[in-house]
């Protein structure tokens, strides 16, 4: 109780200082979402300022009402009914020196570290090494923090294949920016899967779930790889295409394996000046996993359309689908057969520091249900600025 009370007091102090700083600088920095330490950076020597960390805070509250569902439905963020504190985040990031940078993100709503890693900044041939606790860069949805979602809840594929909340782990990453006519990044990760290191995944086992129940070989790590391509078409269009893969042990059969693959496309039309914009995302995932009854092969995908119809208004549409291709599902609340969902959202964004969203969805999971969600988000700092 003392620890929780202390954290609440600390959060209160942080948000109080945030409001004081934001009220004095909101008009000046409203279009850019500068760090809360920006006034300090402007007041000191530039050589010193570059090592002052950027600090951001964000607070989100949601309300949900579900009608017609015969079972409890959650998606890692919003519950089925009532109010929920979605997030209360404090992010600190900055440069250590000319060789390293760091990021620390703590969510007071779940009393957990979301990300905490160190990354290099000066390696040759476009190489970067990152190590620490991080969201796994698999697909488009998983690496994005909740305040950058276009809907209140996660996609069905995110919940089913990544995990409720996130696919995250302690590990290390090697990344290369390749010198090609288009932008290309390739990266690979090795991830620790111990429960004690807060490994989060619905597709891969923790070390404690294996036959040995402890680390006894390289097969106990989870391995991931990703290729991300970026193409510009003229000055207004951009296309992102990614391929991802992950390999580890099955959470449903000791000694069994689990393989996960995905691909995603994101097409943006962002004219200058950006008073309107349109984006479309298509993502597909397929998984092969050993289960007690043999091998399970399931898949899923979604399509999402986002439109900035006014500098202060966004509209969104999303359709999700997941299903089993072959095999028998283990008895688990985390896995379902065929499931689909469609939803629309309207978001009012008066400034980069606040957001009000209304969302409706219809869903079929064994039976038909409807849901209405409302979200209010406020924050200040560089990271809370929404990027279309």
pLDDT value at position 283? 97
> Residue 357 is encoded by which pair of tokens?
């969203």
pTM of the model: 0.84
Using the Cα atoms of residue 146, residue 135, residue 36 and residue 39 in order, give the sign of their dihedral. negative
Tell me which residue has tokens 């996960």.
Answer: 260
Is residue 168 situated within a structural domain?
yes
Is residue 281 situated within a structural domain?
yes
pLDDT value at position 59? 92
Is residue 386 situated within a structural domain?
no
Is residue 50 situated within a structural domain?
yes
pLDDT value at position 361? 92
pLDDT value at position 19? 35
Distances (CA, A) of 336 to 46, 126, 272, 329, 340: 55, 42, 44, 8, 11
Give the Cα separation of 225 and 234 in Å (integer): 30
Is residue 388 situated within a structural domain?
no
What is the residue range of 344's domain?
2-380
Are 259 and 289 spatial neighbours (Cβ–Cβ below 8 Å)?
A: yes
Is residue 196 situated within a structural domain?
yes
Q: What domain count does the chain have?
A: 1
Q: What is the CATH number of the domain that holds 169?
A: 2.40.160.10
Using the Cα atoms of residue 334, residue 85, residue 378 and residue 21 in order, give the sign of their dihedral. negative
| Length of the chain counted residue by residue | 388
Using the Cα atoms of residue 5, residue 6, residue 11 and residue 14 in order, give the sign of their dihedral. positive
Per-residue pLDDT of the chain (388 residues; tens, 9 = 90+): 334 443 333 333 333 333 333 333 333 333 345 677 777 777 777 766 777 888 999 999 999 888 876 555 556 566 667 888 888 999 999 989 889 999 999 999 888 899 999 999 989 988 999 999 999 999 999 998 888 888 998 899 998 999 877 899 999 999 999 989 999 999 999 999 999 999 999 999 999 988 878 888 898 999 999 999 999 988 899 999 999 999 999 999 888 999 999 999 999 999 988 789 999 999 999 999 999 889 999 999 999 999 999 989 999 999 999 999 998 887 765 667 889 999 999 999 988 788 999 999 999 888 888 999 999 999 887 655 555 5
Is residue 387 situated within a structural domain?
no
pLDDT value at position 48? 66
pLDDT value at position 15? 34
Q: Which residues contact 148 (CB under 8 A, 6 or more apart)?
A: 386, 387
Q: Phi and psi (nearest 5°) for 250?
A: -75, 135
Is residue 385 situated within a structural domain?
no
> Residue 209 is encoded by which pair of tokens?
């779930």
Long-range contacts formed by 37-40: CB under 8 A, 24+ apart: none
Strand pairing of 222-233 and 237-249?
A: antiparallel
> Residue 255 is encoded by which pair of tokens?
């000694």
């Amino acid at each position: 109780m003392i620890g929780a009370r202390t954290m609440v007091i600390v959060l209160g102090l942080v948000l109080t200082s945030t409001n004081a700083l934001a009220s004095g600088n909101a008009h000046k920095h409203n279009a850019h979402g500068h760090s809360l330490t920006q006034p300090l950076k402007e007041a000191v020597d530039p050589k010193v300022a570059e090592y002052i960390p950027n600090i951001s805070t964000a607070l989100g509250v949601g309300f949900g009402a579900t009608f017609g569902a015969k079972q409890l439905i959650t998606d890692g963020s919003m519950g089925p009914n009532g109010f929920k504190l979605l997030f209360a985040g404090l992010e600190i990031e900055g440069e250590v020196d000319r060789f390293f940078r760091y990021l620390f993100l703590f969510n007071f709503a779940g009393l957990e570290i979301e990300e905490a890693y160190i990354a290099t900044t000066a390696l040759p041939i476009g190489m970067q090494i990152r190590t620490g606790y991080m969201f796994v860069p698999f697909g488009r949805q998983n690496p994005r923090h909740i305040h950058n979602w276009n809907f209140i809840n996660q996609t069905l594929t995110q919940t089913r294949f990544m995990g409720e909340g996130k696919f995250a782990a302690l590990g290390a990453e090697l990344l290369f920016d390749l010198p090609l006519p288009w932008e290309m990044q390739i990266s690979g990760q090795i991830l620790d899967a111990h429960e004690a290191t807060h490994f989060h995944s619905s597709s891969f086992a923790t070390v404690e779930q294996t036959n040995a129940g402890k680390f006894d070989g390289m097969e106990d790590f989870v391995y991931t790889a990703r290729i991300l391509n970026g193409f510009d078409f003229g000055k207004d269009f951009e296309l992102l295409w990614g391929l991802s893969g992950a390999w580890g042990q099955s959470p449903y059969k000791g000694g069994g394996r689990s393989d996960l693959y995905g691909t995603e496309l994101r097409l943006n039309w962002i004219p200058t000046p950006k008073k309107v914009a349109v984006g479309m995302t298509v993502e597909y995932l397929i998984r092969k996993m050993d289960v007690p009854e043999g091998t399970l092969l399931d898949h899923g995908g979604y399509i999402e359309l986002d439109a900035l119809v006014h500098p202060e208004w966004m509209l969104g549409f999303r359709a999700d689908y997941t299903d089993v291709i072959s095999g028998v599902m283990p008895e688990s609340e985390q896995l379902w057969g065929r499931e689909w969902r469609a939803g629309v959202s309207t978001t009012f964004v008066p400034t980069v520091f606040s957001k009000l969203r209304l969302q409706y969805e219809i869903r079929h999971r064994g039976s038909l249900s409807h849901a209405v969600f409302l979200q209010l988000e406020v924050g200040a700092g560089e990271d809370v600025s929404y990027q279309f």
